[in-house]
Chains A and B, each alone.
Chain A
């Protein structure tokens, strides 16, 4: 109830955020959103705002950390970075995602 479409993509979005932080280092919300848009080459039409519930969720799980900092053009912004458990989590999440993807792929070829 009250779950919006972002919930369907919950696991996916979380992994994307984690992976972004892994490759780019500490990043603010806008930066993460833009990066996800760019990587997915606009295939994923995602409201940038949906990133924030995801960020909060990851923070509450202790996978990422938030600190206030200053952006490249001198604006105050909240920077997110991976925690130790977050780094470990990426591996697990990636693995399980690959398994799902492989299963789906097999399914689709059989059809």
Chain B
């Protein structure tokens, strides 16, 4: 082989050799002719004649002298293209089928590539990990407290650097119009950890973690929008929520941290959490778990080793500080990308699997088309093998044809992906991290090419091998009409496989649809219609004392606006992806500190239940009389009452939730004054959680309640009035996050919705392809059996019998495929469990429905050919032979 490749380069030398050899042959022949007494001229002519075509021989030898593989491939491709040109309808059907399959795969892969495969935009991202706290107990305890973080940072042996971060939001004042900004509070060495530098200025210094330090790094976008891209901005003082901060630097436009929060406008150091005015600053409070931690592994340290290291440290800390750390006695280290993706990985794998099945079905259709065509071309193939083409050559020729088709389909598929991707991205929205970066790029195109090649071989192999096995003699003898059962059996097998795959896909789509319907039609526990929500801050620097008065006046004026039915405040309203849990002491079940029960908490204003239309089941709502001087009170929901009071009347009972009201002596005992109905805190929450409600007016730190407002008009139409009202009370407070409750719920449902729509589309595509495939196979089988059916009819068979016979053939195929599909679905559906709500993964109703749909589709596909079979005119059918 090597010498043949060399031959390509030594072509000239070889040509010379060949020419010389042929010349010497002709001269020898001429000389012998002359010896036999011919004239000079005659001898030459005779030699040429005996030789045959010199040019032809030279070309033949030259062709074979090169790499025969390359030469043959070129010829095979040219031949394949001619074949496609000769049957444009066939080629078009194949290419469209493949374009659908490959296009869908390419689109999904471009998203998978952007979300899962592309490395994080930092230096050596494979060494970045996320460290989380974890522990026993019923609540998730992923977040870390500052003292724990400081201990981790000091004691660990696995990390080069360990950095804490949490989100914070501030109001930027002193600019043209106050703006609300989202930022991150981080350890000083975030940038060295990520391996990123600012585009202007410098990063943080270690001493800037110290109390009183106030520095920020601002995002490129903020620099452009608020500071006019002024390079002298470094060193300038800006005001964030009333405090003065010095700008240390500007980050590059490409910088994103955290990756999932592209709208982060600034980063400041954890000195912000060390407030001199606060008796219990967050940096010294081991019980306040609210930090995320990212780390860079030392070279050579594995995630598993770091995980073991952290677990040991967390266990030691829990022993050392049982009061605060009993529920945080372990830790978990995951690669940063894994932590980032969470459940999304599963979702994407399911979508990718589904779309691969669609491609398999498409390949099945093409394989059947090629099988049918291979039969029509049997004579051609038999001729070629009679003329000396060996079987390997024929198989290769057919494979080249199918791969050529595959690549043509792939090109069309890429074009389709290019068109469809933006629409799919819109559908996904922000529900999948990093999906917005998806696009058709080089790796994606490489993937599409690979898929095209693989599918070309996949659907081409079966017909090619069959063709090579074709019985030469019988084919030629029967004029290409010999019946070769193998073809038919293969085609049937393909159909059975397609039906089985179709069942699996449709069942998955059916389950996701059922789940989504359940999600959207379930009772949230409150009325989400006609509700507007928005947010603004009342910074401590100015509102520490006057906050209650401010809110009282604010709510009075808000409720007076035309179109407003009622309004209230809530720190952690549902559908905002914000939730907090608070431990509480129960005198009837005393437990050691650190092992108390936790329940979701919300701090609210009076009228919240009325505004949300959450039913008050017992007792009373909070009112303006509940202040620091009166009895300290709380309200619980039904789930809470059931779980902790087991059917007893909870009214009048006292609990001590771990939230202080600012008075000395720590958190007070609170009397339960009311029981309300359960609500779902998020649209995808599976079970109703126990909840405790505390009156904001009896809490020390209750800075920022979101406003919840029930309107009699279109909620969004009140936005200008709301903004005017707030800015008339304080022009430095911007209103943010204005949206309706319905929209917020829609956002929470975005992931299940997009999973359902994509899978639904794939299942639909799969069904259509299967029906077309079944139709094709049945129609072809009827066409081939025209003579047989004609004979049957001529011998007196009823048309109804013929109809039934064809339908029965189809029913057998569909039935077998269905049985396999049901078995496969039952075996694999549990994978879906984490994506389903309100339905089991083995839902007999869904499976039954799916079978019904597929059976009906199969019947429709078989009916037309069956009617055609029954309508055959026996005379014509027999005469045609």
Which one of B24, B25, B31 has the greatest number of beta carbons of chain A within 10 Å?
Answer: B25
B123, CB-defined interface residue at 8 Å:
no
Contacts of A50 in B (CB 8 A): 52, 57
The interface on chain B, measured as residues whose beta carbon lies within 8 A of the other chain's beta carbons, has a size of 31
B701, CB-defined interface residue at 8 Å:
no
The chain B residue with its CB closest to the CB of A50 is B52
**Contacting pair B24 A60 (CB below 8 A):** no
Q: How far is the CA of A50 from the CA of B22 in the complex (A)?
A: 12
B53, CB-defined interface residue at 8 Å:
yes
Stretch from B157-165, B383-391, B653-661 at the A interface: B383-391
Minimum distance in angstroms from B97 CB to a CB of chain A: 28
Q: How far is the CA of A30 from the CA of B79 in the complex (A)?
A: 35
Q: How far is the CA of A49 from the CA of B28 in the complex (A)?
A: 13
Interface of A: prevailing SS: helix
The chain B residue with its CB closest to the CB of A78 is B21
**Contacting pair B65 A28 (CB below 8 A):** no
Q: How far is the CA of A53 from the CA of B384 in the complex (A)?
A: 19
The chain A residue with its CB closest to the CB of B32 is A34
**Contacting pair A47 B51 (CB below 8 A):** yes
B10, CB-defined interface residue at 8 Å:
no
B175, CB-defined interface residue at 8 Å:
no
Q: How far is the CA of A8 from the CA of B61 in the complex (A)?
A: 17
**Contacting pair A71 B51 (CB below 8 A):** no
Contacts of A28 in B (CB 8 A): 24-25, 28
B581, CB-defined interface residue at 8 Å:
no
**Contacting pair B61 A30 (CB below 8 A):** no
B50, CB-defined interface residue at 8 Å:
yes
Within 8 A of B (CB), among A64-78: 71, 73, 75-78
B54, CB-defined interface residue at 8 Å:
yes
Minimum distance in angstroms from B740 CB to a CB of chain A: 69
**Contacting pair B25 A30 (CB below 8 A):** yes
Contacts of B22 in A (CB 8 A): 49, 52
Within 8 A of B (CB), among A35-51: 47-50
Query: Given A28-B24, A75-B27, are A48 and B50 also a contact pair (CB < 8 Å)?
Result: yes
The chain B residue with its CB closest to the CB of A47 is B52
Contacts of A3 in B (CB 8 A): 384, 387-389
Contacts of B65 in A (CB 8 A): 56
**Contacting pair B387 A7 (CB below 8 A):** yes
The chain A residue with its CB closest to the CB of B29 is A30
Within 8 Å by CB of B24, from A1, A10, A34, A71, lies: A71
A26, CB-defined interface residue at 8 Å:
no
**Contacting pair A57 B17 (CB below 8 A):** no
Contacts of B50 in A (CB 8 A): 47-48
> How big is the A interface, by class?
20 to 34
B225, CB-defined interface residue at 8 Å:
no
Query: Given A10-B388, A30-B25, A47-B50, are A52 and B79 also a contact pair (CB < 8 Å)?
Result: no
The chain B residue with its CB closest to the CB of A73 is B31
Minimum distance in angstroms from B64 CB to a CB of chain A: 5
Query: Given A47-B51, A76-B24, are A53 and B57 also a contact pair (CB < 8 Å)?
Result: yes
Q: How far is the CA of A49 from the CA of B134 in the complex (A)?
A: 85
**Contacting pair A60 B64 (CB below 8 A):** yes
Q: How far is the CA of A71 from the CA of B25 in the complex (A)?
A: 11
For B9-31 the 0/1 string (1 means CB < 8 A from A) is 00000000110111011011101
**Contacting pair A60 B53 (CB below 8 A):** no
**Contacting pair B388 A29 (CB below 8 A):** no
Minimum distance in angstroms from A32 CB to a CB of chain B: 10
**Contacting pair A60 B21 (CB below 8 A):** no
Q: How far is the CA of A10 from the CA of B25 in the complex (A)?
A: 21
Contacts of B53 in A (CB 8 A): 47, 49
Minimum distance in angstroms from B763 CB to a CB of chain A: 43
**Contacting pair B64 A57 (CB below 8 A):** yes
For B53-97 the 0/1 string (1 means CB < 8 A from A) is 110110011001100100000010001000000000000000000
**Contacting pair A77 B31 (CB below 8 A):** no
Which one of B32, B388, B389 has the greatest number of beta carbons of chain A within 10 Å?
Answer: B388
Within 8 Å by CB of A60, from B4, B27, B54, B384, lies: B4
**Contacting pair A49 B57 (CB below 8 A):** yes
For A72-87 the 0/1 string (1 means CB < 8 A from B) is 0101111000000000
Which one of A2, A10, A57 has the greatest number of beta carbons of chain B within 10 Å?
Answer: A2
**Contacting pair B52 A48 (CB below 8 A):** yes
Within 8 Å by CB of B64, from A7, A49, A53, A75, lies: A53
Q: How far is the CA of A77 from the CA of B22 in the complex (A)?
A: 9
Q: How far is the CA of A2 from the CA of B82 in the complex (A)?
A: 15
Q: How far is the CA of A49 from the CA of B57 in the complex (A)?
A: 6
Minimum distance in angstroms from A27 CB to a CB of chain B: 12
Q: How far is the CA of A47 from the CA of B51 in the complex (A)?
A: 5
Query: Given A3-B389, A47-B51, are A53 and B25 also a contact pair (CB < 8 Å)?
Result: no
Within 8 A of B (CB), among A1-36: 1-3, 7-8, 10, 28-30, 33-34
Contacts of A1 in B (CB 8 A): 75, 79, 384, 389
Minimum distance in angstroms from B446 CB to a CB of chain A: 33
For B246-270 the 0/1 string (1 means CB < 8 A from A) is 0000000000000000000000000
Contacts of A49 in B (CB 8 A): 22, 51-54, 56-57
Q: How far is the CA of A75 from the CA of B24 in the complex (A)?
A: 7
Within 8 A of A (CB), among B366-392: 384, 387-389
Query: Given A53-B64, A78-B17, are A71 and B52 also a contact pair (CB < 8 Å)?
Result: no
Query: Given A3-B387, A10-B388, are A56 and B51 also a contact pair (CB < 8 Å)?
Result: no
Contacts of A56 in B (CB 8 A): 61, 64-65
Which one of B20, B61, B75 has the greatest number of beta carbons of chain A within 10 Å?
Answer: B61
Q: How far is the CA of A92 from the CA of B27 in the complex (A)?
A: 35
**Contacting pair A53 B60 (CB below 8 A):** yes
Q: How far is the CA of A49 from the CA of B23 in the complex (A)?
A: 11
Contacts of A47 in B (CB 8 A): 50-53
Within 8 Å by CB of A48, from B4, B25, B61, B387, lies: B25
Q: How far is the CA of A33 from the CA of B25 in the complex (A)?
A: 10
**Contacting pair A52 B4 (CB below 8 A):** no
Q: How far is the CA of A48 from the CA of B25 in the complex (A)?
A: 9
**Contacting pair B61 A53 (CB below 8 A):** yes
Within 8 Å by CB of A8, from B21, B29, B54, B388, lies: B388
Minimum distance in angstroms from A21 CB to a CB of chain B: 16
Contacts of A57 in B (CB 8 A): 64
Which one of A2, A29, A49, A73 has the greatest number of beta carbons of chain B within 10 Å?
Answer: A49
Contacts of A2 in B (CB 8 A): 75
Within 8 A of A (CB), among B612-655: none
Contacts of B56 in A (CB 8 A): 49
The chain B residue with its CB closest to the CB of A7 is B388
Q: How far is the CA of A60 from the CA of B29 in the complex (A)?
A: 26
Contacts of A10 in B (CB 8 A): 388
Q: How far is the CA of A75 from the CA of B51 in the complex (A)?
A: 19
Q: How far is the CA of A50 from the CA of B388 in the complex (A)?
A: 15
**Contacting pair B388 A75 (CB below 8 A):** no
Q: How far is the CA of A52 from the CA of B28 in the complex (A)?
A: 15
Which one of B4, B32, B52 has the greatest number of beta carbons of chain A within 10 Å?
Answer: B52
**Contacting pair B61 A29 (CB below 8 A):** no
**Contacting pair B51 A76 (CB below 8 A):** no
Minimum distance in angstroms from B585 CB to a CB of chain A: 90
Q: How far is the CA of A67 from the CA of B754 in the complex (A)?
A: 72
Q: How far is the CA of A8 from the CA of B68 in the complex (A)?
A: 20
The chain A residue with its CB closest to the CB of B54 is A49
A56-B65, A76-B20, A78-B20 given; 5 more Cβ-contact pairs under 8 Å = A33-B25, A47-B52, A49-B51, A53-B61, A71-B28
Spell out A's residues near B (CB within 8 Å).
1-3, 7-8, 10, 28-30, 33-34, 47-50, 52-53, 56-57, 60, 71, 73, 75-78
Spell out B's residues near A (CB within 8 Å).
4, 17-18, 20-22, 24-25, 27-29, 31-32, 50-54, 56-57, 60-61, 64-65, 68, 75, 79, 384, 387-389
Identify the 7 closest CB pairs spanning chains A and B, nearest first: A47-B52, A7-B388, A49-B57, A49-B52, A30-B25, A30-B28, A49-B51
13 A-B pairs with CB atoms under 8 Å apart are: A2-B75, A28-B24, A28-B28, A33-B25, A47-B50, A48-B50, A48-B51, A52-B57, A56-B64, A73-B31, A77-B25, A78-B21, A78-B24
